[in-house]
Amino acid sequence: MDTTTRQVIAFYVGDRSGESAEALWEKIPAAYQERALFYTDQYEVYRSVIPPAQHRAITKHARKTNHVERFNCTLRQRVSRLVRTTLSFSKKLSNHIGAIRYFICDYNLTRSAALPG
């Protein structure tokens, strides 16, 4: 998530393995990969994927991940497929990912309309 615009710049649906972290890193636009700082929790996998000069492993007390955590809550609240006991779960992973992608596109368009300028 971009800290200035609060738009989602990339996402990947997977487990918290090294392969998933690498797949997420590959989806991040090159401009961010080259210049951005990345604040993550202290999960060890991120250290092997994000260049050390750009990586900040922090605790929740640093309050640098609040917007991402808030977005995760919003995503779970608005995309019913992400709730375990829902009637509208996805039988196919591709449909699940599509629902998430659709929500993120709408979210980003709403965020860009709210930005000044």
Entry pTM: 0.80
| Residues 32, 24 contacting (CB under 8 angstroms) | no
Which residues fall within 8 angstroms of residue 9, CB to CB, at 6 or more apart? 1, 2, 28, 29, 32
105: left (phi over 0), alpha (psi -120 to 50) or beta: alpha
* Mean pLDDT, residues 84-112 taken together: 83
Model confidence at 82, in pLDDT bands (50, 70, 90)? Answer: confident
Q: Evaluate if residue 111 carries a pLDDT over 80.
A: no
Model confidence at 25, in pLDDT bands (50, 70, 90)? Answer: very high
Q: Evaluate if residue 9 carries a pLDDT over 60.
A: yes
- Kindly report the backbone phi and psi dihedral angles of residue 103, in degrees, each rounded to the nearest multiple of 5, phi listed first: -65, -45
Higher pLDDT, 117 or 21: 21
Domain definitions of the chain by residue range: 18-114
Q: Evaluate if residue 60 carries a pLDDT over 80.
A: no
Task: State residue 108's pLDDT score.
Answer: 92
Model confidence at 12, in pLDDT bands (50, 70, 90)? Answer: very high
Strand, coil or helix: 56: strand
In this structure, the number of other CB atoms found within 10 A of the CB of residue 50 comes to 21
- Average pLDDT across the chain, whole number: 87
Which residues fall within 8 angstroms of residue 101, CB to CB, at 6 or more apart? 11
